[in-house]
Chains A and B, each alone.
Chain A
């Protein structure tokens, strides 16, 4: 019934950031956000990234999702160097492999929940009927089946975030990148959303990378990275932080 693939993951989607430099130049100023940064995330993992503001957490998510490119270094996902893809290939790749969930949901006010969730499917060859079916499934999965025809302004913040999650998973991407997904929600609602993410990780094998400021949210993850400490460890130690089975990939490159 569900169009979402059930665990185990259909293919391995290890995320590897290797020797990442990321800097922004504004006039004469050069802001270095990341310098010789390494990180590997195992396919099917649920990783929480924490740390003070401005440290480059969102930047990491953008790099993993191909929204941004490193100044130098490799971004390898599922064995593919996405930093080397052309802009159009990257766009296509993102549509197939990545689901984004942001702090604010960015739902389109003129579309119903169903319409919002269907939107990414217009990038697929599915026909209208199939798209409706897939969107309905995704909405059911996040517990919003009965609100399919409501518009965003008729939904609560938590419900909107659920719809945004449904939109992120509807085209069945293997990786979900969440930037403070519960930042705007109260405790109870946040817990519901986090439980939902946990379920997507457990039952459907989604790889989840979640940036959060919320210690309690981090408890849902199977691995927590405190970015400040992690960076302080330095290049060598960063490699040591990476689980054994993935170190070989990094070192082997």
Chain B
């Protein structure tokens, strides 16, 4: 039985090139579905990876109660001090709490006019919102993967900053040694850093004091990061701080915070992307159905002859199915391979829904995702093939042989 099916499938495969043009529509539509599917999956996987790389296990992120993002939060020195005094916070050898108070603002970046020398008229280009983080020496303790990959760290007290490599990659004009207009003031780019492809690579970092004064924030900050002892009971800590009338804070592990953001973003992408993929998949099924119906219609004599020779209807239907499968595999590969060649590692910029600042993610095309996109293609092929296969199986031999 299987042998028969293989013999017939082999014949269909052989004649497949002749039918390539007739099958082009279904191959292309399957290719599109596979590409969209892979794109959606790769983008959300890239996001999750970026977000998951961000944050240490024992880093507690503290913001104002009710703040969804760092941008919406504000905290004052008194609060930072109270938080730092807690017993659960790790201390360095000098007895100082390991704490990082950070400023976080959306800085408007205005590109300078293309022709900077002949700067007679002032041309203002539309600004772009970049995430600027004011940090202190302690901040580096919370970013063990931080690496300076060009230039040097910013000098304290000066309008200097270092930029994450994701930004540097996306905006090639931002190079070390250049001075840029950020929120109305001139900032000097002193270096470029990497941080294990985390979210931070989409940020600009500068000295917190300079940012505070530049943005007239006094000594307020947006968020506080605390290194916790291993045995810390988060619920107890939350209760303790809630009971303190001087504090009004939200606490969350930094890891969890970014993971949640990733979830929100990927949910968004999937909500938009998957319905599109599904609608396209339905279209592709119809196209495949069409192609396969046409294929068996044009081959009704051939099929009848096979039945007359003694091939079982089952073997005949299997050969139709295998042809639909071939269609799906060719289509799937046609969608997946170019996407893989062109877009793997390609950087996409998104607006973070909460902070409205730029975030960069890599398309992350893994074998698993390719397998998923191919599986979808194959399912489309099988769904498109099954009805024609049943029809071929049932087709009365005598009718097919009679009409000429």
Chain A residues proximal to chain B, CB less than 8 Å: 58-59, 62, 65, 67-68, 87-88, 91-92, 94-96, 98, 100, 102-104, 106, 108-111, 119-120, 122-123, 167, 179
- Which of the segments B323-331, B355-363, B396-404 contacts the partner chain? B396-404
Contact in complex: A106, B301 (CB < 8 Å): yes
- In the complex with contacts A67-B398, A106-B301, A108-B302, A123-B15 CB distance below 8 A: no
CA of A59 to CA of B401, assembled, Å: 11
- Which of the segments B40-48, B83-91, B246-254, B306-314 contacts the partner chain? B306-314
CA of A95 to CA of B304, assembled, Å: 14
Contact in complex: B310, A91 (CB < 8 Å): yes
CB contact between B11 and one of A104, A110, A167 (< 8 Å): that residue: A110
In the complex, per-residue mask of B364-404: 1 if CB is within 8 Å of any chain A CB, else 0:
00000000000000000000000000000000111001101
Contact in complex: B302, A94 (CB < 8 Å): no
Interface flag for B305 (CB, 8 Å): yes
Interface flag for B122 (CB, 8 Å): no
Contact in complex: A95, B307 (CB < 8 Å): no
- In the complex with contacts A62-B398, A108-B302, A94-B18 CB distance below 8 A: no
Contact in complex: B305, A68 (CB < 8 Å): no
CA of A96 to CA of B18, assembled, Å: 33
Contact in complex: A102, B18 (CB < 8 Å): no
- List 13 additional A-B contacts (Cβ < 8 Å) besides A62-B401, A110-B18: A58-B398, A58-B402, A67-B397, A91-B307, A91-B310, A91-B311, A94-B309, A100-B309, A106-B304, A110-B11, A111-B14, A123-B311, A167-B309
CA of A102 to CA of B404, assembled, Å: 12
Residue in chain B with minimal CB distance to A92? B310
Number of A-B residue pairs having CB atoms within 8 Å of each other in the complex = 68
Interface flag for B3 (CB, 8 Å): yes
Contact in complex: A102, B310 (CB < 8 Å): no
CB distance from A33 to the nearest CB of B (A): 11
CB distance from B320 to the nearest CB of A (A): 15
CB distance from B79 to the nearest CB of A (A): 79
Contact in complex: A106, B398 (CB < 8 Å): no
The residues of A that contact B14 with a CB separation of less than 8 Å are 110-111
CA of A96 to CA of B309, assembled, Å: 9
List of 5 A-B pairs having minimum Cβ-Cβ separation, nearest first: A95-B310, A122-B7, A106-B305, A110-B15, A110-B14
Interface flag for B4 (CB, 8 Å): yes
Residue in chain A with minimal CB distance to B401? A102
Residue in chain A with minimal CB distance to B402? A58
- In the complex with contacts A58-B402, A122-B7, A123-B4, A109-B15 CB distance below 8 A: yes
The residues of A that contact B404 with a CB separation of less than 8 Å are 103-104
CA of A109 to CA of B310, assembled, Å: 19
The residues of B that contact A65 with a CB separation of less than 8 Å are 308
CB distance from B296 to the nearest CB of A (A): 15
The residues of A that contact B304 with a CB separation of less than 8 Å are 106
Residue in chain A with minimal CB distance to B309? A120
Contact in complex: A119, B308 (CB < 8 Å): no
CB distance from B243 to the nearest CB of A (A): 80
